[in-house]
Chains A and B, each alone.
Chain A
């Protein structure tokens, strides 16, 4: 039943196209912070996501066996989106992006340049600088940014294939703190707008999609749920629900009641 419901929902919506790649799912998921690799893979499958993010790190040479994520995650099954998470300068982010591309999967990178340890808010000047350099080098840059319209416009000008404003700080689970700014960004950009970071639960994902954005990227909301696999199912439905509600166009809200049943024909 679930599969049919999802097929029906998708028949009512077009695909998500980013940098020439086509995706059916509007949910992009991270692979960090899961208790086990088995739960991670089960959760990702349950979410229906096709694009998954991964990070670039040194191999721990003290381990008896290298335990890279590709030992658990089949790159034939998922589209790998390498990130530059943990980078605090444009130079570092560019270095990480180049290393990721050399792994040989694709030219996409989730560009993330952090400006502050406490809030993990992006350094937008450094993000713009790195976005320009990487786009010039042929990368398909999906840039994590704050919910600022002007930065989003500049990132599009820099050649980014998607702009990814945050809903709220990374890992906070606070949901969309500024839906107005998210809508404004969506209404002004040509490239897909993916809301990245801050979603806490299914209603947050749904509300985010109701703003009209093209997709949502999340990690902690799934990995840190008590039952990540069940939450991944919930998120899959929430993303579809929010998207279809947006496309359907909601009724106007008013602060007075309007009866749903006829007022005529009541018994005398």
Chain B
């Protein structure tokens, strides 16, 4: 799996899609599921909560949901706070 910044990508256009990932434009491989996206980012699904176009996804659905062109994804986790 390959995730690359919008610039400097050498994956041809029809094999990639544009998405917004944590507020930044990214080009990702077409056809990735949420699970495969997290894998490619080396994130443990159990440690992440995913919001897709402002809807929170159930963890069970990660293998079944495919990321589409123009999707806005938020990947969040717990950090230190008071």
Contacts and interface: CB of A to CB of B under 8 A. Distances in A.
Contact of B81 (A32, A59, A98, A197): A32
A174 interface: no
Contacts of B29: none
B58 to A, nearest CB: 8
Interface string A168-194: 001000000000000000000000000
Given A58-B23, A61-B21, A61-B22, A69 B79 contact: yes
Interface of A: 30-34, 40, 53-59, 61, 65-66, 68-71, 80, 82-83, 85, 95, 98-100, 102-104, 170, 197, 217-220
Contact of B80 (A31, A98, A102): A31
B82 A80 contact: no
B42 A61 contact: no
A32 B78 CA distance: 11
A58 B74 contact: yes
A100 B78 CA distance: 8
A93 B58 CA distance: 20
Interface in B30-82: 41-44, 47-49, 51, 54, 56, 58-59, 74-82
Nearest to B47: A68
Contacts of B23: 58
Given A61-B24, A98-B56, 5 more contacts: A56-B78, A58-B76, A66-B41, A70-B77, A83-B81
Nearest to A217: B82
Please report whether the interface of chain A is mostly helix, strand, loop or mixed according to DSSP. Answer: mixed
B56 A55 contact: no
Given A58-B74, A98-B56, A104-B59, A70 B47 contact: yes
Contacts of A55: 78-82
Contacts of A217: 82
10 contacts: A30-B80, A31-B80, A32-B79, A54-B78, A56-B79, A66-B42, A71-B47, A85-B81, A100-B78, A218-B82
B78 A80 contact: yes
Nearest to B56: A102
A57 B77 contact: yes
Given A58-B23, A102-B49, A102-B56, A70 B78 contact: yes
